[in-house]
Amino acid sequence: MLNVIEHGEPGRPQVLIAHGLFGSGRNWGVIGKRLADTFHVLCPDMRNHGDSPWFDSHSYEDMADDLAGLLDGPADVVGHSMGGKAAMMLALTRPDLVRRLVVADIAPVAYGHSQSHNIAAMKAVDLSGVTRRSEAAPLLDADDEVKSFLLQSLDVAEARWKLNLDVLDREMDRIIGWPEVSGRFDGPALFLSGGRSDYVRREHRETIKASFPQARFARIPDAGHWLHAENPRDFEATLRAFLA
């Protein structure tokens, strides 16, 4: 169902990588290509993102079901931010499909940082005369770092965003929240945070351990919330060490 970019040879140990809000599987191309020497890496576009289908809902239960549909057996599952919550939901509801879990810079808690302002900024851009992404940049009211990231989801040829902005806006409380979920994942789990990020705090560890009793914690120095993009070499090295 989801659009998937694959790296590496089928038959190798499988790694599934779930991207964050406003992202796509392409965002993980560098990491995916480097891991391809050892793994078969699946980088899907999550629902309502990229080239995957659009739906009227965007719950973590739905996203976990989407990811489960890509797997025919246990895999190592990596998720960043929104994708990290989807990966956690998959591990809690379908532990038979998750061999090892890596959660990048997010905790199983509700947050207050709505991203609706970025959705409003994207909707406000008049794309009718835009022929290059560089022409859309000054029209997009966002911080420079965020602007560059958002523009990766602009389809200039079709004059559209490859994001279901209406549904993502309507479902924002679900996206930044975390539902009541029973279950426990007893497999190996790594919660990997950016050294400059405050998304995973010490007070979250008790909550994490309740659902993921084997959880271990590590930080990537010189990186914020987008740790895999800001310090990809250290992220890759930590990932390889854990998956080995």
State whether 144 and 210 are in the same domain.
Answer: no
- Final residue in a domain of this structure, among 136, 168, 200: 168
147 within 8 A of 153, measured Cβ to Cβ: no
pTM for the model stands at 0.97
CA 230, distance to chain mean position in Å, is 15
pLDDT at 60 over 90: yes
Q: Is 193 a catalytic residue?
A: no
- Tell me which of 37, 96, 141, 166 is the catalytic residue: 166
State whether 125 and 17 are in the same domain.
Answer: no
State whether 144 and 201 are in the same domain.
Answer: no
- Tell me which of 81, 153, 193, 197 is the catalytic residue: 81
State whether 16 and 97 are in the same domain.
Answer: yes
* pLDDT tens-place string over residues 13-36: 999 999 999 999 999 999 999 999
Give, for 24, the enclosing helix (H) or strand (E).
none
Q: Is 225 a catalytic residue?
A: yes
State whether 104 and 190 are in the same domain.
Answer: yes
Residue 237: count of CB within 10 angstroms of its CB: 12
State whether 106 and 121 are in the same domain.
Answer: no
Residue 174: per-residue pLDDT? 97
State whether 144 and 232 are in the same domain.
Answer: no
Q: Is 153 a catalytic residue?
A: no
Q: How many structural domains comprise the chain?
A: 2
State whether 126 and 206 are in the same domain.
Answer: no
Instruction: With H, G, I as helix, E, B as strand and everything else as coil, classify residue 12.
Output: strand
Instruction: With H, G, I as helix, E, B as strand and everything else as coil, classify residue 38.
Output: coil
Which residues lie below 8 Å from residue 219, measured CB to CB, with a gap of 6+? 192, 193, 194, 195
- Tell me which of 19, 80, 225, 228 is the catalytic residue: 225
Rounded Cα distance between 118 and 124, Å, is 10
Average pLDDT value for residue range 79-103:
98
* pLDDT tens-place string over residues 144-166: 889 999 999 999 999 999 999 99
Q: Which token pair is 193?
A: 């945070």
Can you give the residue range of the structural domain that contains 32? 4-111+177-243
24 within 8 A of 152, measured Cβ to Cβ: yes
State whether 74 and 193 are in the same domain.
Answer: yes
CA 144, distance to chain mean position in Å, is 21
107 within 8 A of 199, measured Cβ to Cβ: yes
